[in-house]
Structure 1
Amino acid sequence: MKEVKVGICGLGTVGVGTFNVLARNAELIAGRAGCRIRVLRAASRRLRPGVELGDVPFSDDVFSIARDPDIDVVVELIGGYDVARELVLTAIENGKHVVTANKALIAVHGNEIFEAAAEKGVIVAFEAAVAGGIPVVKAVREGMSANRIDWIAGIINGTGNYILTEMRAGRDFKDVLREAQALGYAEADPTFDIEGIDAAHKLTILASAAFGVPLQFDRAYTEGISGITPFDIAHAEALGYRIKHLGITRRRDQGIELRVHPTLVPASHLIAQVDGVLNAVLVDGDAVGQTMYHGPGAGAEATASSVIADLVDVARAVMSGTHKSVPYLGFEPDAVDNLPVLPVDEIFSAYYLRIQVQDHPGVLAKVATILSDSGINIESIMQKEFEEQNGTIPIIMLTHTVQERQIDRAIAELEALPDIVGKVVRIRTEHFNH
């Protein structure tokens, strides 16, 4: 049987998982690809203790794989921006196909990488860059190719989802974060996870595949979960909602929304019930309606599943001799639409507001007047006398849908009132209507 020769660059969790699954399921994979997929070489900065590569040669020079004339496909699993970019561009320059799980690389440098790959006639595949083992890129790019996709919303970072899930029991954010780090769900520096940067990388890729727009990560709005408190989680639950850290992208006539932030979701909705480190992505198309893709968004063999699915696609193209593949982001180059990413103050949303006020007569009337004058209608109000502390009491409100700039103006006016204590807490709300 013919074979496609692969070089794996990066032997961390996903690299080792990919190596092991390729070895364990070699015959099954060959039957699907129409050829054997053989790991010819592996490289990493160092070989971790306990990693067994059998007779596969190891090198600490990943660039030697990108330049090796016997390698057909370079699998980039080293992560990060700079070295990974140089490695991938070197592989492309040497006529290699590339499979990567690096969402940061694709979101930030993908436009450059795809242009270089098109000039060389090679494939760059990146299913594992979004939602780990869930084949959502293929679903959006291929399975929904008949649809006008209106929006995508997803839990696309398992660390944040784990933290918010555990906080529903009343636990403090910092305590749960420490636990997530101890369990290996969060890095020593968890900034990318808890501040929404990791999710924004993935959302940028999904938006481009859904709407046929260039990758525009630098325009994504990101807001983290470190300011979410057990108090807000409990009150959201009392109102029939759960707080999830969502990535949301929506196509509008003037451009696209591209935003990651905490979001109130109706507790009855399927995505509200996705807990722990799991991921879930909702996609709304005009023909099919809403579909949801759910499963492990990280992990050695879950992510390896997507890496190897890409390898199978590349191997089939190599065997056919055409090297023709699905366009990198699902649209032919002349069909790409240069829609801009809209500023966050142009989005429309409903809102949860928590306003800490002096417990004086007439304060609620002042708050209601400011919201009314700003064109903001109130859906519900919650104020409980037993929550009064030191002469202040929280007012919880849900608004109807308005433009964000209206809420911004209203909050600025509210915070200027002498009866308002501290900052107004604002959390966006989504109902996932068409």
Structure 2
Amino acid sequence: MTVPTEAAGDVRPPGERPASVLDELELRGLVAQTTGADALATALAGDPITYYCGFDPTAPSLHIGNLVQLLTMRRLQLAGHLPLALVGGATGLIGDPRMSGERVLNTPETVAGWVDRIRAQVQRYLDFEGRYAARMVNNLDWTAPMSAIDFLRDVGKHFRMGRMLAKETVSARLSSADGLSFTEFSYQILQGMDYLELYRRHGCTLQTGGNDQWGNLTSGTELIHKVEPQAAVHAMTTPLITKADGTKFGKTESGTVWLDAELTSPYAFYQFWVNTDDRDVGRYLRVFSFRSLEELAALDAATADRPQAREAQRALATEMTELVHGAGAATAAVEASAALFGRGDLGAVDAATLGAALREAGAVTVPAAEFGDEGRTVLQLLRDAGLAGSQSEARRIVAEGGANVNNERISDPERRVRIADSLHGRYLVLRRGRRMVAGVLVGER
């Protein structure tokens, strides 16, 4: 990945830049709450400060919602501050309480494996060399050696039940039929202890996180103020990302959009961003893109003037796919997307990308035996792929010039397609008109 080198991605003349990195974050809609905006602005405008954000290994991969925190960390590092990336080997064994109910506890071995995977993902977005080098930390290092008695006496005594019970998630879960276990209830104490340990070990004075973490972040600042009264520490949250249509950001019909290419292919990742609603794309660009604010304003204008061109969506999708999966994967996704809709060479798309693209578009498997020696007719394939509901509808599609196989327009409804005609020995791309695409995968004999 090519990491942006301009502070916060802004390439304007110095006199026209926002006054501080905090101003930049606010202009991009990345500040929801702080423990004190003026004090934080002063701290960020002075000498480099050390800040941290935590990522719990409650799954084998981070997802695109985590990109908000990763890229906020990156912006602060580009502004000349020192990041600590915490992967929670201890907190990942418990999990932050969710509104939806109690988490399933994963085995220590599973969590340890996920710690390694997530550490590798986090490392892609920060620089670990140079003057503002990032450091990776694991809260299991200071939590595991601590006895239960020490935890209760040295840390737990500083937390008041009233404050803990008032936190939104805790209150909601206590009122639910399932209630809340003491295990999950203790999470906020563990996260508060993390901030105290990082303050003592590394001089960390800022914690960032999503706005749903505000209660956990302030647990840390309050604990530090109690045991280190002279400390000046801060917390800042970013807004939760929403979608204009009311559906949950980062979810598709096939599930969560992960950063791991094995869980969400680069093509599917690209398609998620390119399908962004016009009402959301400007906001997403400000949150996720490292383009300058002038470039973003130009893309806003393009969306308003030429929405059908989807220039902003393509810019967002290409930048995000390159950021997460690399330039090669981004290029392959762009080319596959174009080729699938008849604007490129399908033969030039590699097998893995084409397979991922067809699975995303919708593909069915037809056993090789059903092709026989003569192949299957285009009418059969249109029905196989779900692009026609009947033989007569399939004939009408062909007669109207709307049937394409591997980007070749078909005029003969009885035309037969053989296995030898498939791409990479397995894939057939069918298109009805300009926008309806599906695939047929040739199965085993």
TM over 0.5: no
**Which of 1 and 2 has greater Rg?**
2
> What TM-score do the two structures reach when normalised by structure 2?
0.28
More strand by share: 1
Normalization by structure 1: what TM-score? 0.29
Q: Flag the structure with higher helix content.
A: 2
